[in-house]
Structure 1
Amino acid sequence: MRTSQALLLRYRHDPSFEFSRVLVTYVDRGAPGDLSSVGGGEIVRLGPGFFDVLREERAVTVPYHRIRRISYDGVVVWEKE
């Protein structure tokens, strides 16, 4: 099984995919239902243990272990059990 990080890196760098079609849902304490979602166009960096999201003109760091689901074109391609 592919890790969420490996999957995001593939979608970012493989020319057969458009990263803007990715939707990542992650644990965000304090958000409604403690979950937030972000489109690939808002992800500004894929780091070694985290990714950075552009929110209100500032980068917010999210660890990969908080990812719960990754969708591509509306189809769930990865989900944490």
Structure 2
Amino acid sequence: MRTTHALLLRIWHDPEFNFKKATVEYIDRGAPNDRSTAEGEYITNLDRDYFEVISTGGTTPIPYHRIKKITYAGIPIWEPKEE
């Protein structure tokens, strides 16, 4: 199974993809329904442990384990398995 980090790196580096078409939904405590979404154009870095999102206060690191869904061009390409 591909990790969210590996999947995002593939979209970031593979010329077949356009990272601006990617969207990441993640847990964001305090946001409506404790969820936020980052579009690819607002993701500035894919670190080993987190990705960075441009926010009003600069950039915000989001750990990969908070990701709940990744879509590409509106199509879901990753969601956690239901237990």
Residues 19-48 of structure 1 show CA distances to partners (whole Å, capped at 9, x for unaligned) of 000000000000000000000100000000
Give the count of matched residue pairs: 81
Q: Secondary structure at the match of 1:10?
A: helix
- Pairing 1:17-56 to 2, within 5 Å after superposition: 17-56=17-56
Q: TM-score, normalised by structure 2?
A: 0.95
Q: Which ranges in structure 1 are unaligned for 5 or more consecutive residues?
A: none
Identity %: 46
Q: Secondary structure at the match of 1:26?
A: strand
Indicate whether 1:64 and 2:57 are aligned: no
CA RMSD of aligned residues (A): 0.7
Q: Distance in 2 between matches of 1:64 and 1:74?
A: 20
1: CA distance, partners of 2:66 / 2:51 = 10
In the superposition, the TM-score normalised over structure 1's length comes to 0.97
| Alpha-carbon distance in 2 for matches of 1:32, 1:49 | 25
User: In the TM superposition, what is the alpha-carbon distance from 1:80 to its structure 2 partner?
Assistant: 1.4
| Superposed structure 1 runs of 4+ greater than 3 Å apart | none
